[in-house]
Structure 1
Amino acid sequence: MNKDNLEYDIIIAGGGLAGLCNAIHLSKFDKKVLLIEKNSYPKHKVCGEYISNEVLPYLEFLNINPFDFGAVKIDDFQLSTTKNKVIAAKLPLGGFGISRYTLDFELYKKAKENGVAILQDQVIQVNFKKDVFTVETKENKKFTAKICIGAFGKRSLLDIKMQRDFIQKKSPYLGVKIHVKGNFPKNKVALHNFKGGYCGVSKVENDVINLCYITNFSSFKKHKNITDFQENVVFKNTFLKEMFQNATPFWEQPLSISQISFETKKPVENHIIMSGDAAGMIHPLCGNGMSMAIQSAQIASKLILNYLNDKIESRKQLENLYIRQWNKQFKWRLKAGHFIAMLFRKDKIASFLLSILKRMPFLLPVIIKQTHGKPIKL
């Protein structure tokens, strides 16, 4: 498809998991899709890189098998508190580990194979008038479409321009990620707490360990740099100290991202269908953001196809159905994630909860289920 074409059925702003899955899904049904992404592929991103198995049926529908690209099966879960108390459980549904570097690149290649027009540029303005979207980019290009999907991640220029509610509030979180070589079970994902934050540990393809943590920025800025923060705060958790100090980094410097927000977002803004992190983020303590992004694409794409094929009568009905289905699928998960994260920020409560879970270990899989879905029905 020629991306110099100015008119499309759908324009997608952002080419992460949600944007790419939307693009593949919609293009499977011969819709003219333009995806605009400011970065080139492949690219590493700050991300936990664990995905619940609930998305496997949908990825199969998109003709993507993550295990063809080295994804690692994960079925064990480990959790530690700031006091270094630990509990383990089997994951009720299981999951897999794969890097964003690999998964995004494979989805990108599939989208191109399907005929999606992919433009490396940045969307700076979206206007909606007379039932048509006009999308303007940083490189002074202008496109029109019947539908616009916002899949631009955690925080973007468009969020600011639209004055979305969450953007008015301070975003106090910082994320840091590094890939390392070391000893860690292939089938395990671990979440280790330290004062003011959490770190996820899991294997991805090529026997690589992903270490990704999030912390309150107010805690971080008391220290000179990432190394100083890790030595004085993160390494108070003995599991993390051992992991970091006995591992060999693949990169000279870790990746970092600031101003991460877990505030409530609206799934539709200015008639733009928001997908992935643009619609809402689950707290990383619950470790399931990637599957939520993928699943949100399925919800959006199915409804958009019905609208474009006149099975949904009006744009208002489309938007209302998307909001309803998004909330049904994710609203409880987000609330549960916020609540669990709040409890674990309080050391005494976290230690008390852990003592209960050790006496009644069957409760941990029940809690995990609150932040995970069931296998996606096609």
Structure 2
Amino acid sequence: MFILKKYLHGVNSPKVVIIGGGLAGLTAALHLEQKGKQVLVIEKNQYPNHKVCGEYVSNEVKPYLEQLGLELCNLGLPEIDTLQISTQNGKLIEVDLPLGGFGISRYVFDHKLYQLAIKKGVNFLFDTVVDVQFANDEFSVTLSSKEKIHSKVVLGAFGKRSNLDVKLNRGFIQEKSPWLGIKSHYENNGHPSNLVGLHNFPGGYGGLSQTETGDVNFCCLVKYESFKKEGGIEAFNQKVVSQNPILKDFLANSKGTFEKPLSIAQISFEKKKVVDDHILMCGDTAGLIHPLCGNGMAMAIHSAKLAAEQVVMFMEKPNFTRKDMEKEYQMLWEKNFGKRLWMGRRLQDLMLHTKWFNLGMHTVANSKILLRKLISNTHGNPILH
């Protein structure tokens, strides 16, 4: 409670509060700290912990992460340069990834960023935010303990779906979503370290990629209606996922390393407000790209960079108003991610209509140029500080 009391007294109130300590929140904190800003990250869970995530990261964010001080070269990460896609019946296509990427578990990734942030002087408070109010050009952030923290700027990085979305009455939270995410790690039984696989099955698709331990992450997105008919993850894997012969072979010859798989329901791909009640939203809180695009983690990091840059401008330039900050961030977010999100929605629509997807895959199989074009439309260019 010491760190909380420190921030509840006027002169020591943080200039920036970041709600959520995932990839976006941690990245924004490191960026702002590097620019000399006083930051408090409020995160409900202690590190390290696993999260439902594809765990493939595009190299577009690698230079930026290294500039923030994260030494990725020392982590022995799998270097991924090939994408493998299969149809429900197991027809395979392979293509090189223009930028490539690396495999890393969220268990390690988030923890390393957290340790770096602590080392750099970022302050953390492990608690739950239950409300945020904006009045008189200042935020009041209420914690589960009923204590309040006051701040000039708040960044929202609290993930795909949160009770805070309900409290803020965000539009997408009113609609039920049919999507369920499931993830587990498996002992590697021959999956190449340089390969990320994306495999279709009835009602969903799953990704395979190696992590820093050598284990393979299997993360899939499924329609809940399809899932609940089978009564559990094991039965669903056997009866539905295994209709894809590649995934059937993987599951039959691999041993899970988690006590039980992780899952998250009500994953929404609906459009979200990037700025909501003057809070700058980052990462999945601002918008979620379909996992088949393989770019969610990079987008979260990039969006945090864009938000942090606008916050710095707001805090350092007298003529750069809050309205300017919000307008500029919205414009940059749309410019960098709008097209990717649109393409992701179109690809997912195609993938979940088996007849058309199989036909499209056969077409793409005869044109790797077309597949590379699809990849380039869902990924960005390398970003620097």
* Alignment TM class, shorter chain as reference: over 0.9
Which amino acid is the alignment partner of residue 167 of structure 1?
I
What is the letter of the counterpart of residue 127 of structure 1? Q
Are the aligned partners of 1:150 and 1:274 in contact in 2 as well (CA < 8 Å)? yes
User: CA RMSD for the aligned pairs?
Assistant: 1.2
Contact 1:69 1:102 in 2 (8 A): no
Q: TM-score, normalised by structure 1?
A: 0.98
Aligned to 2:278, which of 271, 295, 301?
A: 271
For residue 83 of structure 1, report the CA deviation from its aligned partner. 2.2
> What is the rounded CA distance, in whole Å, between the counterparts of 2:3 and 2:128 in structure 1?
18
Pick from 228, 242, 253: which aligns with 2:260? 253
C-alpha separation in 2, matches of 1:119 and 1:149: 15
- 2:349 maps to 342
Once the two structures are superposed, what CA deviation does each residue of 1:55-102 show, in whole Å capped at 9, x if it has no partner?
011101111122322321100110011122111100011001000000
Alignment TM-score, normalising by the size of structure 2: 0.96
Give ranges in structure 2 of 5+ residues lacking alignment.
none
- Counterpart Cα distance in 2 of 1:189 and 1:15: 26
SS in 2 for 1:60: helix
Map residues 294-309 of structure 1 onto 2, 5 A cutoff. 294-309=301-316
* Local SS of the residue matching 1:102: helix
Structure 1 counterpart of 2:331, one-letter code: R
Question: Against the structure 1 CA distance between its residues 120 and 352, is the aligned structure 2 distance closer, same or farther, given a 3 Å change threshold?
Answer: same
Is residue 50–residue 96 contact of structure 1 (8 Å, CA) maintained in 2? yes
Quick one: distance in 2 between partners of 1:13 and 1:217? 29
Which whole-Å deviations, capped at 9, do the CAs of 1:151-172 have from their partners, x for residues lacking one?
A: 0000001101111111111111
**Alpha-carbon separation, structure 2, partners of 1:312 and 1:86:** 56
From 5, 8, 31, the counterpart of 2:7: 5
Matched, 1:128 2:134: yes
Secondary structure at 2:45's aligned position in 1?
Answer: coil
Q: Secondary structure at the match of 1:15?
A: coil
Given that 1:183 and 1:247 are in contact with CA atoms closer than 8 Å, whether structure 2 keeps it comes out as no
Q: Which runs of 4+ in 1 moved over 3 A?
A: none
Structure 2 partner of 1:211:
218
**Paired positions, count:** 378
Partner of 2:27: 21
Give the Cα–Cα distance (whole angstroms) in 1 for the partners of residues 122 and 298 of structure 2: 22
Which residue matches 1:108? 114
- Identify the residue that residue 206 of structure 2 maps to in structure 1: 199
One-letter code aligned to 2:84: Q
For the pair 1:152 / 2:158, whether they are aligned, the reply is yes
Structure 1 counterpart of 2:353, one-letter code: K
- SS of alignment partner, residue 15 of structure 2: strand
Partner of 1:163: 169
CA positional deviation for 1:312:
5.3
CA deviation vs aligned residue, 1:237-287 (integer Å, no higher than 9, x gap): 111111111111111211111111100011100000000000000001111
Q: Are residues 1:319 and 2:319 paired?
A: no
Separation in 2, partners of 1:98, 1:58: 16
Structure-2 separation of matches of 1:139 and 1:62: 33
Secondary structure at the aligned position of 1:143 is classed as strand
> Is residue 24–residue 303 contact of structure 2 (8 Å, CA) maintained in 1?
yes
Distance across 1 between alignment mates of 2:48 and 2:158: 17
Aligned to 1:99, which of 81, 98, 105?
Answer: 105
Take 2:176 and 2:320, find their aligned partners in 1: how far apart are those partners?
39
Distance apart, 1:134 and its partner CA? 0.6
Candidates 242, 250, 255, aligned match of 1:243: 250
Specify which of 59, 70, 81 is matched with residue 87 of structure 2.
Answer: 81
Distance, in Å, in 1 between the alignment partners of 2:357 and 2:292 is: 13
Please give the alpha-carbon distance, in whole angstroms, between the structure 2 residues aligned to 1:81 and 1:359.
Answer: 14
* 1:330 and 2:332 aligned: no
Q: Which residue of 2 aligns with 1:353?
A: 360
Alpha-carbon distance in 1 for matches of 2:352, 2:341: 17
Structure 1: gaps of 5 or more residues: none
DSSP-derived class of the 1:249 partner: coil
Contact 1:179 1:208 in 2 (8 A): yes
Percent identity over the alignment?
A: 46
SS in 1 for 2:25: helix
| Aligned: 1:71 with 2:77 | yes
Change (3 A) 1:111 1:312: farther
- Opposite residue 361 of structure 2, the aligned amino acid is L
Q: CA deviation at 1:311?
A: 5.8
Report the CA distance between 1:2 and its aligned residue: 4.5
1:90 aligns with 2:92: no
SS of match in other structure, 2:89: coil
The corresponding residue for 2:297 is 290
Contact 2:3-2:125 within 8 A present in 1 as well: no
